[in-house]
Structure formats: C-alpha cells, structure tokens
Amino acid sequence: MDVNGKLFKRYTSRYESYLKQYSRENTEKQHAKGKLTAIERIELLFDQGTFEEIDAFMTAAETNFGKSTKAFGDGVITGFGNISGRLAFVYAQDFTVMGGSLGAAHAAKIIKMQDMALKMGAPIIGLIDSGGARIQEGVASLAGYSGIFRRNVEASGVIPQISVIMGPAAGGAVYSPALTDFIFMTAKTSYMFVTGPDVVKQVLNEDVSFEDLGGASTHSKKSGVADFVFEDEENTILGLKRLLSYFPSNNLENPPFVLTDDTADRIEERLRDIVPDDANKAYDVRDVIKLIVDNGRFMEVAENFAANIVVCFARLAGQSIGIIANQPKVLAGTLDINSSIKAARFIRFCDSFNIPIITLEDVPGFLPGIDQEHAGIIRHGAKLLYAYADSTVPKITVILRKSYGGAYCVMNSKNLGGDFNFAWPSAEIAVMGPDGAVAILYRKELAESKDPAKLKKELAAKYREEIANPYIADEKGYIDEVIDPAYTRVKLIRALKALENKHVLTPQRKHGNIPL
C-alpha cells in the first residue's frame, strides 16, 4: 500500500469510530427522551449543505478516576455555516457522549468557535445539552468553563450570542447562557439550575422536581431566566432563526432591511378608539403594536415574565426596531422591579446592535408597596433609567395615555434623551394622577366640604383639563407633537428616517457604573 493509501486508511478508521458514536442506539436513546441528537439539531439550524464541522477528531484521550474520556469530538460538535444566508458559528453539546459533559478538549473546541465568531463578526449559538463540568477531569473542566465565560463577556455587545437549552444545564454550566444575550428553552425536555433537586433535598430537606426547580415554565414565568420557550426542538430552532433575522451580524453593521408590502403611509383609524375613555379601564397594548408595525408581526421577548411591560422586536418600513410598551392589562402597566430589569436589559441589547428603540407609554407610576421598596425598586428602577439615558440609538416615545411622576421621566422622556417624543390626545402627563393631586392640594377644602366626593370629582376634572393633558407639555417643548393616533405608523417611520444618521459623541471613560 502506498503512503497515501495508508493515510487514507487511518483517516477512514478514525472516521468510522467517530461515526460509531452516532450509533442508532445512541440516537434512539435521545429520541426516547423527546430530544433530537446534536447532528439533527445542527441540520435544522443551518441552510442545507452549508455546515462545516471543525475539530471532529479532537479528543481528551485520557483516563481519569477509572473512567475513560476518550471520544472523538469530546462530546461537542462545533463548526460554522449559513443561517438564512448569513454566517454563524455553533457549538452543539452531544448528551450521548459522556452526558455532553464539559472537559478540557470540549471547552477548547467551544473557545475556538467563540474566538472565531468574534474575529469574523458573526453570531455564535450554543445548543446546550450537558451534565455540566466533567467530573473526572476535575479542575481542568472548571478552567474550561472560566475560559468560556471570559469570552462570553468579551463578545458581549460585539456579536449576538444566543443559548438554546435542549436538555440539562446544571451547576456553573448555567452561567455561560446567563452571560449571553438570549436564552431559549424547549418545554419539558430542558432544565437549568445551579444546584439540583438532590442538593436541595440534602441541604434544605425540600422536595422539588427537575421541572419545578428549573424547567422551561419556571424560568419563563418565575425567574425570568428564559426569554423564549417553544413546545419542541423544531419550533425552538425556528424561533431562534426568526429572532436572528432582526439582528445585524455584529455591532458594526446595521440590522438587515426586509422588504415589506406594508406601506409607509398606512393610516390606521382603529388606533383612534383603542384607548378606553375611562382612564381606569385596561386594554392590551399588543393590539396597538400590531396595528403599527409591518404586517402586524412582532416577536415578543419574555412574554410571560413581568408581563406589565411588553418588549418585542418588529419592523417599521422594513427596518428592525425594538419596542418597549407598558401593558395596562397587567398591574395597570406600573413599573416594578422585574419589569424595570426586563426592559433595561432589552434596551442594552438594542443599543449594542444598532436597533432603534420605540417606547409606547401608558404608565401610572412605579408599583407602590413594602415588598417592592424592601426588595430595592430604587436600585432596580435605576437600571431602566440608566439604560435609557445611556443608549445612543434613535429613540422615539409615543405617550398613549398615562405618563405620571418618575415613570414619565424613566420612559424615554425628552430630557432623558428622547429624540422624538409624541403624544396622543388621550395622554395624561403630570407629577401624579388627578385623585392623588387633589387629595394633597385640597386636603383642607375637602375636609371642610359638605359633599367631599362631589368636590373631589370636580377638582379632578379641572386638574385633567388644566394640568394633566398633553398640550401643556407640547407648549413647553417636552412633547414634540400631539399626533392623531391614526398617523402613528406614518410619524414613526418619518422620525426613524430623520434619525437614520444619528451620531452621538460620548465622553471618554473606561465604562459607566450601571446600577447592577
């Protein structure tokens, strides 16, 4: 046999033993759990025939603690390809190989992808299905995680980083996803926790299931860790691709423009009646969003967490935008700790990746209460203030109804840095609502009145007429224009066009000190 023949034989035998790892038995084990294999996931993710694998033969080749860790690929598939025609890097952990656990070689492969993605200015996606740090590799696996975390931080705000949890993510393994921009979870088959049910039982003597402790439902509704949940892996990957379509590949590019048949001069008369006449009546702000954006399509982030604020991606005349909207349907649209953090983080993402921010405002104020004060609404509300004030992308606000007190300031008011601030005629802008204002300013008169209820009503109406209306803010320049709601889409598109070349110079500093 000639030299080349020998080399080829060696290659084939390596390749065959590599493929053995993807045996029918292993595939069936994964399928039995309602999961796809790492290869199947990659096939769904990338445009057909574009995926290129890197480091397929990388191996730890060691035996530790009586357990072999020798497996080609070391339990993770890494590479690159095109997603909807654009370059992206991926690492997909393979639970069928040592439980997808992370050893030194496994970590080195992920780190290579992170470094390449950053160099090429392309998104990186982690498909996570792993028992965490590989126990038998000890500190080397912990060091591997540290290297990944450092690169997550280095790449933050430079390239989009997205984590998709498709099985276990246990222990410190949850922290790489937590450092990335968005976390997807698949219902019922994925879970994330720092310490699992066994440890909870040992330390606290509490019984809790995997699902209750760290399943997709828990993280999308209670903890706010998961931004998106889909019912199965196919839909999770479709959701991920849809999300990516709103983003540029890196912070030096603009988001891709998507042609639309929805016209820029569409006048939407239904918007005139959407806010109820009774100021205490709720409505769904998502109905407003639907009527404004291209083809009524938007993608909501963390829709089941802090639902008193809606944050979503959408398009206006083909351009990606991020929308932050108070939701009067939930907690009357008040700002609380969770909604402040949710919106602040969303703003930081949009600002990093050149996505203009549109604020639709209807907020009676911060949520009052001992719980909120003691849990630090001052600290957390400041995050939202900071995020708005610090962002330099085009920022436009439309006040739909209430805009009271500190919440007026926070929600991208003119003096906080709003580029265009519009208000609907139904807007109420003041230091506080009519009832509170009357109770403070007319305390004595109300106490002495024979019919305090009637007097209060009259004074509240007078307050609305004289103080809490948008025309006063308009006269003073805090509102640029009181607009006909039917023209909201037209006004926003024109404002965005005017802001196309917005450029802001910020003072030199290492970084600001965001109230974390």
Note the residues at the interface with ligand HXC (CB under 6 A): 98-99, 101, 131-135, 142, 145, 168, 170-173, 175
- In the DSSP assignment, the letter for residue 36 is -
The beta-carbon contacts of 342-347 under 8 Å, at least 24 apart in sequence, are 342/224, 342/301, 342/302, 342/305, 342/306, 342/309, 342/311, 343/309, 343/311, 343/384, 343/387, 344/383, 344/384, 344/386, 344/387, 345/387, 346/301, 346/311, 346/322, 347/322, 347/384, 347/387, 347/388, 347/391
Residue 145 in contact with residue 133, Cβ under 8 Å?
A: yes
Report the residue number, 94 or 361, with the smaller CB distance to ligand HXC: 94
Q: Is 407 a catalytic residue?
A: yes
Q: How far is the CB of 231 from ligand HXC (least distance, A)?
A: 20
Report the residue number, 176 or 354, with the smaller CB distance to ligand HXC: 176
Residue 360 in contact with residue 289, Cβ under 8 Å?
A: yes
Q: Is 406 a catalytic residue?
A: yes
Q: Is 172 a catalytic residue?
A: yes
Q: How far is the CB of 57 from ligand HXC (least distance, A)?
A: 21
* Residue 361 amino acid letter: E
Can you tell me which residue has the tokens 């038995």? 25
Q: How far is the CB of 146 from ligand HXC (least distance, A)?
A: 7
Report the residue number, 202 or 392, with the smaller CB distance to ligand HXC: 202
Q: Return d(Cα 315, Cα 242) in angstroms, integer.
A: 13
Q: Return d(Cα 462, Cα 124) in angstroms, integer.
A: 57
Per-residue buried b or exposed e for 193-210, using 16+ beta carbons within 10 Å of the residue's own CB? beebbeeeeeeeeeeeee
- Which of 75, 171, 381, 418 is an active site residue? 171
Q: Return d(Cα 183, Cα 10) in angstroms, integer.
A: 41
Cα end-to-end distance, the chain, whole Å? 66
- Which of 172, 318, 417, 436 is an active site residue? 172
Residue 292 forms beta bridges with which residues? none
H helices of 95-168, in order, are 104-120, 139-155
Q: How far is the CB of 226 from ligand HXC (least distance, A)?
A: 18
What is the three-class DSSP state of 53?
strand
- Which of 407, 423, 460, 495 is an active site residue? 407
Q: How far is the CB of 242 from ligand HXC (least distance, A)?
A: 29
Report the residue number, 131 or 356, with the smaller CB distance to ligand HXC: 131
Residue 386 in contact with residue 260, Cβ under 8 Å?
A: no
SS3 per residue for 236-276: HHHHHHHHHCCCCCCCCCCCCCCCCCCCCCCCCHHHHHCCC
Q: How far is the CB of 158 from ligand HXC (least distance, A)?
A: 23
Q: How far is the CB of 136 from ligand HXC (least distance, A)?
A: 6
Report the residue number, 127 or 293, with the smaller CB distance to ligand HXC: 127
What is the chain's percent helix, strand, coil content, to nearest 5?
45, 20, 35
Q: How far is the CB of 56 from ligand HXC (least distance, A)?
A: 20
Q: How far is the CB of 349 from ligand HXC (least distance, A)?
A: 24
Report the residue number, 170 or 314, with the smaller CB distance to ligand HXC: 170
Q: How many residues does the chain have?
A: 516
Residue 309 forms beta bridges with which residues? 326
Report the residue number, 151 or 402, with the smaller CB distance to ligand HXC: 151
- Which of 196, 224, 406, 417 is an active site residue? 406
For 251, counting Cβ atoms within 10 Å of its Cβ (0-12 exposed, 13-18 middle, 19+ buried), the class is: middle
Report the residue number, 133 or 317, with the smaller CB distance to ligand HXC: 133
Report the residue number, 69 or 326, with the smaller CB distance to ligand HXC: 69
Catalytic residues: 171-172, 406-407
